[in-house]
Amino acid sequence: MTTHQEIISMPPRDLLNWLEKTFTVELPDDIVTTDDLIATKKLLLRLTRLYDYIMDLLNYAELEVREKKRNGEKCEYEDMIDKRKFIDNKASAIKHDREGLSRAITVYTKYIDELKCTGGL
């Protein structure tokens, strides 16, 4: 397993590629069946774990930015600023995906409840 420090030490372009490969997930287009709902709930939990991990990674990046600045390592500091931004952007994307899935689940469950109330189920 790769440590946070090893990840943070990657060159900026390699880190960006790693983030895309590791944290990009395929989202469902819609929830129309209970099987879709179950799969979406599992994906929501997976995204929650990914979000927790990437936020830890962001914390490590914050520490590295501060250390590089204090040590006067200009080029390394600038690279860490970029890396921190890459991680922050991916964290925002994951959070956005989680919120979207959560809303989709809510809409589906309200729709099913409405069908039950109107006798449509």
pTM of the predicted model, to two decimals?
0.89
The answer to the question of residue 71 being in a domain is yes
- What pLDDT, on the 0 to 100 scale, is given for residue 118? 87
The CA distance from 34 to 28, in Å, is: 13
- Letter for the amino acid at 69? K
The answer to the question of residue 13 being in a domain is no
Contacts of 100 (CB under 8 A, 6+ apart): 27
Residue 8: CA count within 13 A, CB half-sphere: 23
Domain count of the fold of the chain: 1
State the residue range of the domain holding 110.
33-118
The answer to the question of residue 27 being in a domain is no
The CA distance from 114 to 42, in Å, is: 24
- What pLDDT, on the 0 to 100 scale, is given for residue 121? 67
pLDDT (tens place) for every residue of the chain, 121 residues total: 579 999 999 999 999 999 999 999 999 999 999 999 999 999 999 999 999 999 999 999 999 999 999 999 999 999 999 999 999 999 999 999 999 999 999 999 999 988 888 887 6
- What pLDDT, on the 0 to 100 scale, is given for residue 1? 54
| CA-to-CA separations, 82 to 14, 40, 60, 97, in angstroms, rounded | 12, 32, 14, 23
Asked if 22 and 1 count as a contact pair (C-beta separation under 8 A), the reply is: no
The answer to the question of residue 94 being in a domain is yes
